[in-house]
A = this chain, B = another copy of it.
Amino acid sequence: METRTEISSLGEFGLIKRINSGIKTTLPDTIRGIGDDAAVIDTGEEYGLLSSDLLLEGVHFDLTFFPLKHLGYKAISVNVSDIAAMNGIPRQVTVNLALSNRFSLEAIDELYEGMKVACADFNVDLVGGDTSSSRSGLLISVSVFGKVNKDKITYRNTAKPNDLLCVTGDLGGAYLGLQLLEREKQVFLANPEMQPELEGKDYVIQRQLRPEARMDVVYELAEAGVLPTSMIDVSDGLASDLLHICAQSGVGAVVFEERIPIDEQTYLAASELNIGPITAAMNGGEDYELLFTVPQASYDLIKNNPKISFIGYITANKEEIVLHTKGDSRVPITAQGWS
């Protein structure tokens, strides 16, 4: 009998860790392989950045409530976000698409319309890809190529003790937007005559359906003369992404609960759904904000930027990655993945 080990016995992070542990890079122009938001390639004058993400119907999106135009936008935006996290400029994307004959030509046009809007917003070119039939719904695999000045690249593994921990925008909204959409779907399935109750919830819904990669902040940091010591995008939730920075940098961190930026609509949705807003921020994911560290000397240069919140600091104690709660206790930060 052959041995059979279930994937579920490892979980998402265990599986990825196992796959990655067996992979080594050998080429001199491969500056960084697996383990950051994008791979880093020496192209001569600059570094090239390469990243790729998958969006699957039934896993990453539900077309019952996900407009195809937004989906197209999101597919590009989440890839651009990986380039932003390296402090890079996205340039070209390729799009692989597989679709069943359930989709009409008009539906495909909608999807591409959203991708084109994102390409225009982020100033990237759609340069290629593969289109195929699918036996089960829609599948989008986007790859992005970007570039960055060799002196300006930001990795995950270079945070330093005493650096300030910063995050852009606000957190938790995308997750709560998804929960609201899921709830309305269930209501609609139970009673198709019901109208969705999404009034006053436009912001959190938009956070889920149409996230915007924070290229604006990448440019603003450069203008302010601030180079982060480390950076990652918040795709899996603040907890998981902070743990990546800490583990790879060999440092600890303290996050102040009261400093975590959360929008008013996110608080309302959290209350309505009976979900802790901090839990949504820490473990919800899909916010596509930037989490980064800066030396304390940079504080004055960006303290007035309303898009940036200072949420804590980096410590030398890599065993201690904690949330400092409003009640002045310290709770270890842990991550969750799919199983």
Contacts and interface: CB of A to CB of B under 8 A. Distances in A.
Interface of A: 2-10, 12, 15-16, 18-19, 22-23, 25-27, 29-30, 32-34, 38-39, 41, 43-46, 48, 50-54, 56, 58-60, 91-92, 94, 96, 98-99, 101, 103-106, 108-109, 112, 116, 123-137, 139, 141, 143, 145, 147, 338
A56 B131 contact: no
A230 to B, nearest CB: 18
A4 B108 CA distance: 11
A39 B254 CA distance: 44
A50 B128 contact: yes
Q: Give the copy number.
A: 2
Contact of A39 (B94, B109, B136): B94
Could you say which of A18, A29, A129 has the most chain B C-beta atoms within 10 Å of its C-beta?
A129
A33 B126 contact: yes
A259 B33 CA distance: 45
11 contacts: A2-B106, A6-B104, A8-B101, A9-B105, A19-B131, A22-B109, A27-B92, A27-B124, A34-B126, A38-B128, A50-B92
A124 B23 CA distance: 12
A145 to B, nearest CB: 5
Contacts of A10: 105
Given A54-B98, A94-B143, 16 more contacts: A5-B104, A27-B91, A27-B123, A27-B124, A32-B127, A38-B128, A41-B91, A52-B129, A52-B130, A52-B141, A54-B141, A56-B139, A58-B135, A59-B134, A135-B136, A139-B139
